[in-house]
Every structure is written in structure tokens, then in C-alpha cells.
Structure 1
Amino acid sequence: MSQSTEPATRTRADRPARRHRRTKAILAIAAGTALLLGGGGTYAFWSTQTALTAGTVSSGNLALSLGTGSWSLKGVLGQATSVSNLTNVKIVPGDVLTLTQPVTVTLVGDTLAADLAVTQGASFVTGPAAPYVKVAVNITGLGAQTGTNTYRVTPATAGTLTATVTVTFDSTTPNLVGVNTPVDLNQLAFSLTQASS
């Protein structure tokens, strides 16, 4: 019967080999952990979810459209007369040019309110005549103005409205201020903006 020749105890020369194997094993475990944390695997934790059964909410609507308007001109003498071609009109101090304009306002929203206004661009009238040509608006059925040429509209008061816009050449315009000055009516615009206050 053969006897084992392996020594009962390891020598000091064997210790570095054991350390080397242990180090490799630790490095392999660390690399595996890094892969798991880096997206190579996932940890599972309990989770659950339940969807609402509340239904669907829809957004509202805000829209503005203009119908066909009509113009008239009234001077300090005589009655107002209709204007078919604005390019032929030559206004003088004391004249009032009036637009009767159908305006359709669409407002859909439980809490929606909007400001309907007539605005004028920077080049509506230029030069010394600018302070003497004034714009005003009246919109039937909307009560008092909430700002300059501005009315508050709600879904209850929306629909097809009638706006009366006047362009007045002030009768107190002095000397010859404003002669040969263009008034660009295309610089007038209706705007509809959701109210925030």
C-alpha cells in the first residue's frame, strides 16, 4: 500500500500562489458586481401600479374671425355716407370714419375668459398728425370696457358680435398739421387673448 508523499504542511513557497488565487477570485466578484450595477443585470424589488378610471379631459378652444365690414364717413357738415372704396377717401379735421364690423368669437372652456380688443400698429399714422387721429371701439352686448378699446368676453357672451370702430380726425388739429398724411387702416387689428387677471 503506497503512502502519500504530500507534505502535511504547506511550505512558505505555496503561500504566494494561494494569495494570487484569492486575489483573482476577489477581482472576478468585483467585476461581476460592476456589471450588475452598470446595467448588465437588474435587482428585482416589489412594485405595482393601478391605472385611473377617470375618463378623458379635452381642451377647449379660442378663435376669432371677421365678417364683411362696411365703412361710412361723416364730416362736420352733412350726414354720414357709405364708403365703397377707401383709397378714394381724403379725410380732414372733424371727419369721423366708421367701420361696422361683424366679429365672431369662439370660446370653449369651463374657466375661460378672453379680452377682445382693437389695436393699432406703430405706423397707423406717423409724423405730427399722430396725436390727432384717434381710434375708438364699441362692441354691443359686452358692457363696459376693461381697458383701452378692450372688452372682456366669456363663453356666455361669445358668438357673433357687432363692433363699431371709429377713426376720428380731431377737429382741434392746429394750422396745417397732418396735410398729405396717410392713415394706414391695415394697421388696425382685432385681437382675442385669454384673460389672466
Structure 2
Amino acid sequence: MNKLAKGAIAAGAAGILLLGGLGTLAFWNDSTAVNGGNVTTGTLALSDAVCDGGWVYAVGNAGVGAPVGLIVPGDTISKECTFAITATGDNLEADLVIPAEVTFTSSPDAPTLNATASATYTTAGGVTGATVTSANDGDIVTATIKVVFPFGDAALVNTNDTQGILSTLDDITVSLTQTES
């Protein structure tokens, strides 16, 4: 086959491919815009806490309700704090939480000083629990925070280095954190 015939065959094949390609683009279509409109988000917040003046001995200790003087391993102390909840949102759920461990600034340093924290929550309407929804918007919540100084043990918790020291409990943060509903 000569070069002229090969060129004619290639040109014919290219023409067929072009016509076939144009045929696949021949379809009807249309589109329309949908008005996006406005969407407003909800809110989740805690007011600043208002707390009792000091720590008291918790239920289960001698002197329950008495102001804390000099703690010893095995003591549990408590404090009540109140705050307002802002919770708006159609499907909002959130949990009130505090850290399980508390930290201290001590003088002199006391490496084995250890304490754990927990809290219970009650609204003015008597609802008890840590889960908040938009139904709690505007509620005043009372958090009863307990700090436990475990009795010393072989794991070197609250041993002799904790005697006669001045310790300041660092701030305990109550958080309101959204959960997936």
C-alpha cells in the first residue's frame, strides 16, 4: 500500500471518530437554582461559677459539713458551685464534666500528693445528671464537687512527703461539651 492510500484511510478513520464523538454529546439538559436561605446556629455556654466560700468535709467523713482545716489521707472534701446554662439547638446534647485528677501547687514539693475529683449535677427543677439538652436552656445548675485524698498505699500515693505542707488546689474546670446525638 502506498503512502497516499494509508493517509486516506487514516483521515477517514479520524472523521468517523469525530462524528461518533459528536453524537455522544447530543443530549438535552437543564438546571435551576435552589434558594439557600438562612440557617441559624444554636449556642452552648456556662456562666461563671458562683461557689461556696470554702471546702467542707463531705458525707462519709467525721465532721461532715464542717470547714476543712488540716486534711489527711482518706479525707473527702466538697464544694457546691452554681452556674447558668445556655443551650439552644434543635438536636443539642452536651455533657457536664470535670477532670478525674486534680493538680496542686505545693510548698515544699510533695511528689506523692494525689487526689481525684468527681461531681454530681442538679438543676433547680430537680433534674439530676450530667447530660444537657436545649430543654435545660436558662437552668441554674448546682455542681457538688468532691475531691478525694486517697489513703496512702504501696503505690506511693499520699505518703510521708505530704505531711505539714501548704498545698493549693489548682482550678478545677467544669466543662460543657457537645456530644453526638
TM over 0.5: yes
Count of residue pairs the alignment pairs up: 161
Query: 1:162 maps to what in 2?
Result: 142
The corresponding residue for 2:5 is 19
Between the aligned partners of 2:142 and 2:173, the Cα distance in structure 1 is: 15
Write out aligned runs for 1:12-91 (5 A). Answer: 16=2, 19-23=5-9, 25-26=11-12, 29=15, 33=18, 43-52=25-34, 55-74=37-56, 76-77=62-63, 80-81=66-67, 90-91=70-71
Partner of residue 111 from structure 1, selected from 69, 75, 91: 91
Question: In structure 1, how many angstroms separate the alpha carbons of the residues matched to 2:64 and 2:147?
Answer: 18
Q: What's the offset of the Cα at 1:65?
A: 4.6
Contact kept, 8 Å, 1:71 with 1:98, in 2: the verdict is no
Larger-gyration structure (1/2): 1
Unaligned residue ranges in structure 2 (runs of 5+): 105-109
Q: Distance in 1 between matches of 2:149 and 2:94?
A: 30
Q: Please give the residue correspondences for 1:98-177 in structure 2 after superposition, counting only pairs within 5 Å.
A: 98-121=78-101, 124=103, 130=114, 133-141=115-123, 143-145=127-129, 151-159=130-138, 160-169=140-149, 173=151
Contact 2:50/2:83 (<8 A) preserved: no
Could you tell me which amino acid in structure 2 is paired with residue 137 of structure 1?
A
TM score, norm. by length of structure 1: 0.55
Map Cα deviations across residues 65-84 of structure 1 (whole Å, 9 max, x no partner): 533534423354596348xx
TM-superposition CA deviations, 1:109-156 (whole Å, max 9, x none):
1121211122224x64897765xx4533232216333xxxxx111112
The letter of the residue matching 1:60 is: G
- Could you tell me which amino acid in structure 1 is paired with residue 29 of structure 2? S
* TM-score normalised per structure 2: 0.59
Whichever residue aligns with residue 157 of structure 1, its letter is: N
Q: Secondary structure at the match of 2:143?
A: strand
RMSD: 4.4
Structure 1 spans left out of the alignment, 5+ residues? 1-14, 83-88, 146-150
Distance change in 2, residues 1:19/1:124 (3 Å): same
Does residue 172 of structure 2 align to residue 188 of structure 1? yes
